[in-house]
Structure 1
């Protein structure tokens, strides 16, 4: 039996005009799957890059984006019994979250603890689990060391700042000048990326112990140059071309160049490319820990903007131009 649903469709790669909400129907969940009514979907650079056809190894158009969600279980498929109708769950979906209903493998669903703010919970699924892995697993720095975060006012960057500060790091970073007061108020030191003053400023401070850089391309070269003699550059994302409105550029070769720096055995610096998947053995425990921290007030997750599903074009238009801190969300239905 099928259920009427709306979902976002990217019909062809490129212009925002190719992103639309369509009415269709979804079948009952197959074996080992659960049907979830989406409440909030995350919205990030992955959505922008998928619309442009730049996301690594992505599906061909037409496709429905939406990398993460928080929603409510409505139906179980055969051989699915872990959840009951009405249960609140989160999922790193990769695709399909920007829809009223989605059928998801039961094994990837994670309960959302009662009392957790659902907007903040949605931002934790992708943005904060990425930052948690960057800080807790890839960065490996000590209290008092200097951490530099590009895009420090963004969703992942802000989370990396907060989590690094919790470990006792001195945090510096780049962001739009209009967000500098908020970042200063949060206890970090902001710079403007474009004028490159941050490079000399960090060298004057003895260099960074760790740099988290989601931009890629030439930015990884610049970030490597501000490391101290034993510093660590952690690259992820590769969003520079998308943010600058540049022509399509593959992140493959810059990533290979990033990692090849480790072949210089006489150099004390090192590099890592970091990413998360829902199959990582650390993904579930990391998200569960973040849910606990959010519920208990240890962290507060800022939400930059929330768009209705029917305003999906506006979300794409606003991603690189809006002010404020934190994550974008798509509201699909009422809690």
Structure 2
């Protein structure tokens, strides 16, 4: 096996603002059995990265750490594991991966072989790096939790975000009737391209408008906001419908507490008869269902290679500009999925 690799990665040593993202030198030893070392080609930036950096993310409560849940890389070397389902890919193989623990903002990483999904021929690494977390979340809420069927009606809260767009794209392929809340300029046109009827939540009463459009209620509601939106979404459901929550917006400095409170509320709401609620937590679902993860991500990557899926990107930036990217995202100067490249 090869020697140690000295490389750069982005590290958060204490919770705080974007300035806490520091470029450091690190050493990556040869891979353990059942792992591969990758040269990172591109890493996706998600809102959870910003929350983790500030200390407001429930699943990342310790420092130091390297942000990032998704990446595309090239295999440097690999070590087979005893009885491992995934055979080691040869050096030079390009793969995508969604991580269960953060660490993608790096020039090199070591990952379990079961996390690696080969890239289809011709798929651009930058484009692929924008896919894993958003589209795995979309598959989770649509298929695992809501179990939607062609012709079902759904409401997507915050349809303009990355996951909202992924749900819209996959929902259109499944023949869903979709309504989506958003407010940013141009939302109506963007959502219409995905077959989504736009509801401006700042200017319209969402509950009343949806009742006009779907008097009998909708089959499923997908929510990443929480708070009062949970009640709105629940009341919009038809009998037998389901509200799926996959994230919670919280108050600065209180996001962890608000997330716990929101998750508890969703579970309590599920005790009511006639409708149901569910929580989607993709990092946990990846860990619990490796076969589901590999099949789902491979399917999404192939859809992208075929031109069926095309995430809206907000720009490609050098890895060492991570702090400036986080600051721009917080100021809402960038829209769309951002990708970092270590090159």
Q: CA deviation at 1:230?
A: 3.1
State how 1:153-302 maps to structure 2 within 5 Å.
153-180=160-187, 181-195=189-203, 197-205=205-213, 206=215, 207-238=217-248, 240-241=249-250, 245=252, 247-250=254-257, 251-265=259-273, 268-276=274-282, 277-279=285-287, 280=289, 281-302=291-312
**In the alignment, what sits opposite 1:19?**
21
Secondary structure at the counterpart of residue 294 of structure 1: helix
**In the alignment, what sits opposite 1:319?**
329
Q: CA deviation at 1:6?
A: 0.8
Secondary structure at the counterpart of residue 241 of structure 1: coil
CA contact (8 A) 2:146 2:220 kept: yes
Using the TM superposition, name which of 1-10 and 218-227 deviates more. 218-227
Taking structure 2 as the reference length, the TM-score comes to 0.88
Q: CA deviation at 1:216?
A: 1.9
How big is each residue's C-alpha offset from its partner over 1:31-90, in whole Å with a ceiling of 9 and x where there is no partner? Answer: 322110101111112201211222223251111111011000112246596112111011
Q: Distance in 2 between matches of 1:31 and 1:92?
A: 20
Select 2:157's aligned residue among 136, 150, 154: 150
Q: Distance in 2 between matches of 1:296 and 1:184?
A: 22
CA contact (8 A) 2:328 2:334 kept: no
Using the TM superposition, name which of 150-159 and 295-304 deviates more. 295-304
Q: Which 5+ residue runs of structure 2 have no aligned equivalent?
A: none
**In the alignment, what sits opposite 1:2?**
4
Using the TM superposition, name which of 206-215 and 70-79 deviates more. 70-79
Q: CA deviation at 1:27?
A: 2.1
CA separation of 1:237/1:293 partners in 2, compared to 1, >3 Å: closer, same or farther? same
CA separation of 1:303/1:230 partners in 2, compared to 1, >3 Å: closer, same or farther? same
Q: Distance in 2 between matches of 1:148 and 1:322?
A: 27
**In the alignment, what sits opposite 2:74?**
72
Select 1:105's aligned residue among 88, 103, 112: 112
Q: Distance in 2 between matches of 1:67 and 1:176?
A: 27
Taking structure 1 as the reference length, the TM-score comes to 0.90
Q: Distance in 2 between matches of 1:190 and 1:274?
A: 24
Using the TM superposition, name which of 139-148 and 7-16 deviates more. 139-148
**In the alignment, what sits opposite 1:44?**
46
CA RMSD in angstroms comes to 2.1
Q: Distance in 2 between matches of 1:322 and 1:214?
A: 21
How big is each residue's C-alpha offset from its partner over 1:225-282, in whole Å with a ceiling of 9 and x where there is no partner? Answer: 22233321100111x226xx464342122212112222222xx221111122323131
Paired positions, count = 327
CA contact (8 A) 2:141 2:246 kept: no
Q: CA deviation at 1:163?
A: 1.0
